[in-house]
Amino acid sequence: MASFRGESVTGCSGCGGCGTCGGTSPDAAVRAAGVLGYPVALKTTAPHLRHRADLGGVRLDLTTEAELRRSYEELTHALGKPQELLPVVQSMVPRGVDTVIRSVIDPAAGAVLSFGLSGVASELLGDTAHRLVPATDRDAAGLIRSIRTAPLLFGWRGSAPVDTPALEELLLRLSRLVDDHPEVVGVVLEPVVVATEGLSVLSATVRVAHPPARGDLGPRTLPSY
């Protein structure tokens, strides 16, 4: 089984993404920012630090070379060497609601698509919805409305509703990717930042392996998760 950052795969399938360049040194980070254009974000991609903003592995809204170099120095001083942190520079994207989309292979049911909000809601409370692949447009709409925290996507307490049609389209594209390529046995898109107009996939991980054989050819039933 191979596991790798999957921005190239998801980009080719139309699953979105934002500009990302490696930042293996301060000079490399500055060159990356020059290509992407300021403002940028500096973040670690080491497995033990991914999705752990509480540990200080992300610096946002860096608007100048001086800010970027200072943030790079602070990051490596606090958390470790660049070869351990695997820093990257990313374009800043519009603010929105952070979500997570996954696809896994269930031994009994085959490919399953999952959706939830990124962070505590999914990890601690298990607030995640699931549908079988291939998903229909009704499945995609139902996924984002099935979680208990769905009101946060639709204008909770006066906040602006986010672009749920774009989110549904992303779910359908990922479903199509997994259905067309059974060797893709696992995908994690986290976070997917859904703004009032459009969305951005900030990180993608793809696992590729020989798909498990299924002995039955009858209708599939989604297990209870």
Domain boundary among 53, 72, 91: 91
Whether 102 and 195 share a structural domain: yes
Whether 134 is in a domain gets the answer yes
Q: Mean pLDDT lowest for which of 66-75, 82-91, 139-148?
A: 82-91
Lowest mean pLDDT among 22-31, 45-54, 59-68: 45-54
CATH assignment at residue 151:
3.30.470.20
Residues 128 and 162 occupy one common structural domain: yes
Please check whether residue 3 lies inside any domain of the structure.
no
Angle between helices 164-180 and 137-146 (to 10 degrees): 120
Q: Are 106 and 112 in contact (CB under 8 A)?
A: yes
Confidence of residue 12 (pLDDT cuts 50, 70, 90): very low
- Which residue has 């992303």 as its token pair? 170
Same domain for 104 and 61? no
Mean pLDDT of the chain: 87
Same domain, 35 and 68: yes
In the chain, pLDDT over 90 holds for what percent of residues? 60
Task: Determine, yes or no, domain membership for 223.
Answer: no
Q: 102 and 85, same structural domain?
A: no
Residue 8 resides in a domain: no
Residue 66 vs residue 221, higher pLDDT: 66
Q: Which of 49-58, 78-87, 214-223 has the lowest mean pLDDT?
A: 214-223
Q: How confident is the model at residue 53 (pLDDT cuts 50, 70, 90)?
A: low
Q: Which of 31, 63, 91 is the last residue of a domain?
A: 91
Give the 3-state secondary structure percentages of the chain, helix then strand then coil, rounded to 5: 35, 30, 40
Q: Assign residue 78 the CATH number of its domain.
A: 3.30.1490.20
Average pLDDT over residues 148-176: 95
**In this structure, is residue 4 part of a structural domain?**
no
Lowest mean pLDDT of 20-29, 85-94, 103-112, 206-215, name the range. 206-215
Query: 149 and 115: one domain?
Result: yes
- Look at residue 132 and give its three-state secondary structure: strand
pLDDT at position 117 is: 95
Q: Is the pLDDT of residue 176 over 50?
A: yes
Quote the domain boundaries for residue 186: 97-208
pLDDT at position 15: 57
pLDDT of residue 221 exceeding 60: yes
Do 71 and 142 fall into the same domain?
Answer: no
Q: In the chain, at which residue ranges do the beta strands (DSSP E only) sit?
A: 2-5, 20-22, 40-43, 58-62, 88-91, 97-106, 110-117, 128-132, 184-194, 199-201, 204-208
Whether the per-residue pLDDT at 190 is higher than 80: the answer is yes
Lowest mean pLDDT among 43-52, 142-151, 169-178: 43-52
Residue 107: the pLDDT is 84
Q: What is the rounded average pLDDT of the residues 187-200?
A: 94
